[in-house]
Amino acid sequence: MASSEPGKKPRQRADARRNRDKLVEVAAEAFSERGAQASLEDIARRAGVGIGTLYRHFPTREHLVEVVYRRELERLAEAAAELAAERAPDLALEEWMHRFVSYMATKRGMAGSLKLLMTSNACLFTEGSALLRAAFGDLLAKAIDAGSIRGDIETVDVLTALSSIYSIPDLPDWRERAHRLIGLLMDGLRCRPAGDGA
Would you tell me which residues interact with DNA (CB under 7 A)?
11-16, 19-20, 37, 39-42, 48-53, 55-57, 59-61
The nearer residue to DNA, 114 or 159, going by C-beta atoms, is 114
Integer CA distances (angstroms), 166 to 37, 132, 145, in order = 21, 15, 27
How many Å apart are CA 23 and CA 64, to the nearest integer? 9
The nearer residue to DNA, 28 or 73, going by C-beta atoms, is 28
The nearer residue to DNA, 53 or 106, going by C-beta atoms, is 53
CB of 96 to DNA, least distance (A): 33
CB of 3 to DNA, least distance (A): 11
Concatenating the DSSP letter of every residue in 160-193 gives HHHHHHHTS---TTHHHHHHHHHHHHHHHHB--S
Relative orientation angle of helices 89-109 and 130-145, to the nearest 10 degrees = 160
The nearer residue to DNA, 51 or 146, going by C-beta atoms, is 51
CB of 70 to DNA, least distance (A): 20
In contact, 84 and 134? CB cutoff 8 Å? no
CB of 191 to DNA, least distance (A): 50
